[in-house]
Amino acid sequence: MNRLEGNWWSEPCEEHGSAFSLKVKSRLHEEQTPFQKIEVYETEKFGNLMVIDGFVMLTSRDNFLYHEMMSHPALYTHPAPKRVLIIGGGDCGTLREVLRHPEVERAQQVDIDEGVTRAAELYFPELCEFNDDPRAELHFADGIRWVKEAEAGSVDVIIVDSTDPIGPAEGLFNEAFYRDCYRALGGNGILVQQSESPLLHMRLLTEMHGAMRTAGFPDVRTLQFPQPVYPSGWWSATLAGKGGVLDQFREVDARNKVYPTAYYSVGIHRAAFALPPFMQEAFDRVRNQA
């Protein structure tokens, strides 16, 4: 059970016999919304820490890794990402990265819990700097229903920036949801979803690959990146391409981008898709069975 003992906040990962801890100064915020419990702490070395239902969501110090890798690889892989839909992402960090792309004309963010966004505005204002951008639309609604009711072919990129596949997010990790995403995406559409730790959650990763392919996506690929505050410190995102365009990306545009990034680069983009043998072999088996 997650707990605060003395000056240390800890998140045990019971099934894998590990834990992650941060030294904290104080609790800044505590709120029980209709959907989940939100807490924010001030830490000694990682800035502010947001916790939802006892699980680390983000810190000021290392959230750039996640937000950049959830957005830029997919957006530079799509040939013309004008319409972006973010499911989840209530802290608005992914929205910020999406709207750094001048070619994006509309970015809809659909998160079920407004409390996450309001807490982010207070304690992570740097992530919310694009919330008033005229291209941004913040909706507080059920993302699963939103995708199901979306007009066919109405979006170019869907980013599923969700919590772990439990509670409100459980329905975001199955074939039915991926079929709805496939229908909502245009011809070269790309779906990208956070896909947990390759070290700890390979079963989930292979199930995602299988479900995305069964839902109709001809190409599915996983990228990897470090994420110190998440279990194992090694995280991933999985892309599914409706038009089979995942082998290439707009390298010239990525190299000449006019905004700063702390982690993402052309070299990182290429390297992130290079998989260790145990991952590649598992995904090859799923592809061969499809």
Active-site amino acid positions = 161
Long-range CB pairs of 278-286, under 8 A, 24+ apart, other chains included: 278/202, 279/198, 279/202, 279/205, 279/222, 282/202, 282/205, 282/206, 283/205, 283/206, 283/209, 283/220, 283/222, 285/206, 286/206, 286/209, 286/210, 286/213
Cβ 130 vs Cβ 164: under 8 Å: no
- Residue 204: predicted pLDDT: 93
Strand-pair partners of 112: none
Tell me what the mean pLDDT of segment 274-288 comes to.
96
Residue type present at position 82: K
Task: Give the tens place of pLDDT for each residue, 104-135.
Answer: 999 999 999 999 999 999 999 999 999 999 99
Closest CA to 241 of 186, 201, 198: 186
**What does the CA dihedral 223, 109, 148, 172 come to, rounded to 10 degrees?**
40
- Residue 165: predicted pLDDT: 58
Contacts of 79 (CB under 8 A, 6+ apart): 188, 245, 250
pLDDT of 288 strictly over 60: yes
Task: Give the tens place of pLDDT for each residue, 82-110.
Answer: 999 999 999 999 999 999 999 999 999 99
- The three-state secondary structure class of 106 is strand
d(CA 64, CA 263): 7
d(CA 280, CA 290): 15
Proportion of the chain above pLDDT 70, given as a percent: 96
Tell me what the mean pLDDT of segment 250-272 comes to.
97
Task: Give the tens place of pLDDT for each residue, 34-62.
Answer: 999 999 999 999 999 999 999 999 999 99
Domains of the chain with bracketed CATH: 3-59 (2.30.140.10), 63-289 (3.40.50.150)
